[in-house]
Amino acid sequence: ETGVTQSPTHLIKTRGQQVTLRCSSQSGHNTVSWYQQALGQGPQFIFQYYREEENGRGNFPPRFSGLQFPNYSSELNVNALELDDSALYLCASSLDKVSLYGYTFGSGTRLTVV
């Protein structure tokens, strides 16, 4: 089984609300990345954190923000939710910041915005 756990598994929010999604990475994995996967699409890179600092960001607006903690956990925060934010949000961890050998994904949080 995956060493990356995400919570909650499912969530329903109303447009305009704020949401926090959580991820617990594998022990020793200093890098965590977050991805958004809309229905019928491949996952899209949101951002990456390495040792508690953001060190890479995809094409997502500032209302998508994150935090990484020393205990290998992390959060994805989304403010002012829009209907198009409905998606599967995936957290992935890796040993180092360039991660040439792939990532381990959590099972995701399915967010529905109504």
End-to-end, the C-alpha distance of the chain in Å comes to 32
Options 28, 62, 70, 102; binder of another protein; rule CB under 8 A:
102
User: C-beta of 34: minimal distance to another protein in Å?
Assistant: 11
Options 29, 106, 111, 113; binder of another protein; rule CB under 8 A:
106
Residues 24-83 that bind another protein (CB under 8 A): 33, 35, 40-45, 48, 50, 55-56, 58
What is the C-alpha separation between 104 and 42, in angstroms, rounded? 16
Nearer to another protein, 13 or 88 (CB): 88
33: which 2 tokens?
Answer: 């990345």
35: which 2 tokens?
Answer: 């991805």
Query: 22 exposed, middle or buried (CB, 10 Å; 0-12, 13-18, 19+)?
Result: middle
Is residue 8 close enough to count as binding another protein by CB under 8 A? Answer: no
